[in-house]
Structure 1
Amino acid sequence: MKKITLLLFVFCATQVFSQDIKALKSSAMKDAQAACNATLKEDFKTLLTYTHPNILNAAGGADVMEEYLKTTFSQMKANGFAYEIAETKSVSDVVKEQGEYRCYVENYNVMKMNGKRITSTSYMLGFYNEATKKWTFVEAKEMKDTGTIIAYFPDFKTSLDIPENTIEMKDIKE
């Protein structure tokens, strides 16, 4: 009888954990797409709510970062830059490491500038904040040893095998 009870307990615990991971993966997809939508709309206040706090702190806060993004996007638009598509394609498995849930998301972007169409696949590293029940993201390639923001994440290590970004440029023939 004790063995059966133990097996039932293990089975139930595994099912609950599996459902929690599934829900986390689903919420990562939703939050990553919300960040993409905010980028398309140039809604920087919303976009920054999905930016990891370490990045915001390093930049001097959300207000400073928002002004920087407004200026940058304005300059890019003046040079003919436009986003056409920004969408989240997939979410990796969710792992718990260093006391937090993490995953990476695959984003697909199509932009145009100076008669060229730029198509890219990029990856964002997601961190789940259990207090706010929200995912925040950083550019995954910048979290590698040679990245520019890894320094803002002391002792960071991950088991996630994050793919490399890809980019393709083609002349626009309209």
Structure 2
Amino acid sequence: MRLYFKLIILLLFPATLFAQSTVTLKKQADIVAKAMVNGDCVTVLKYTHPKVLQFGGGKQKMLQMMNAGMAQIKAQGFSFQSATVGEPGKFYKAGTEIHCLVPDNIRIKTPNSSIVTHSNLLAISQDGGKNWTFLDLNKGTIASIPKLFPNFNKDLKIPEPTAPGLQ
């Protein structure tokens, strides 16, 4: 009886860890999505991978660029209407990191309509799934992945971003 009980625990324990990591990942991705809609660049950068910050010239420079970009978007009459994240995909071991794709949808209000984008976030954990950082996967960032993540697991297939749609 004890052996049976131990066997069940051993079989279910990894599933519990995976479920918890997925819940944590989704929660943190939601924080980033909400911060983007609210123009909270500090929070977005808090969840940006350190190599991405370094590649972009450092946290302060990226904060200035993001704030300038947000101001430019507003000046043109555009605003973030919503950002939602889907269910995280499969986890992939990449050196000492865990990588995962998280689908995201962003709706931007324009003066005459709305633009909707469907893409993915690359979620990266350096501590076994407790904390996650993110990289929005557009054509430019996808091309930078080999420089940013030399241990990137090639089994993780990144779909091409789709063109934004008007609504």
Assess if the C-alpha contact under 8 Å between 2:86 and 2:104 holds in 1. Answer: yes
Q: Give, as a single letter, the amino acid of the residue that structure 2 aligns with 1:165.
A: P
* CA-based RMSD: 2.5
What's the CA shift for 1:61?
A: 1.8
Task: Assess, with a 3 A threshold, how the Cα gap between structure 1 residues 60 and 81 changes in structure 2: closer, same or farther.
Answer: same
Partner Cα separation in structure 1 for residue 155 and residue 8 of structure 2? 26
> Which residue number corresponds to residue 126 of structure 1?
123
> Which residue number corresponds to residue 165 of structure 1?
161
Partner Cα separation in structure 1 for residue 144 and residue 70 of structure 2? 21
> Which residue number corresponds to residue 52 of structure 2?
55
Q: Report whether the alignment pairs 1:27 with 2:24.
A: yes
Say which structure is richer in strand: 1
Equivalences for 1:1-174 in 2 at 5 Å?
A: 5=3, 9=6, 11-130=8-127, 133-141=130-138, 142=140, 144=142, 147-170=143-166
Partner Cα separation in structure 2 for residue 103 and residue 31 of structure 1? 13
Task: Assess, with a 3 A threshold, how the Cα gap between structure 1 residues 99 and 155 changes in structure 2: closer, same or farther.
Answer: closer
- Structure 2 counterpart SS, 1:102: strand
- Structure 2 counterpart SS, 1:137: strand
Q: Percent identity?
A: 25
Q: Give, as a single letter, the amino acid of the residue that structure 2 aligns with 1:117.
A: S
TM-score, normalized by length of structure 1? Answer: 0.82
Assess if the C-alpha contact under 8 Å between 2:109 and 2:115 holds in 1. Answer: yes
What's the CA shift for 1:68?
A: 0.8
Size of the aligned set, in residue pairs, is 166
Q: Which deviates more from structure 2 when the two are superposed, residues 117-126 or residues 128-137?
A: 128-137
Q: Unpaired runs of 5+ in structure 2?
A: none
What's the CA shift for 1:101?
A: 2.0
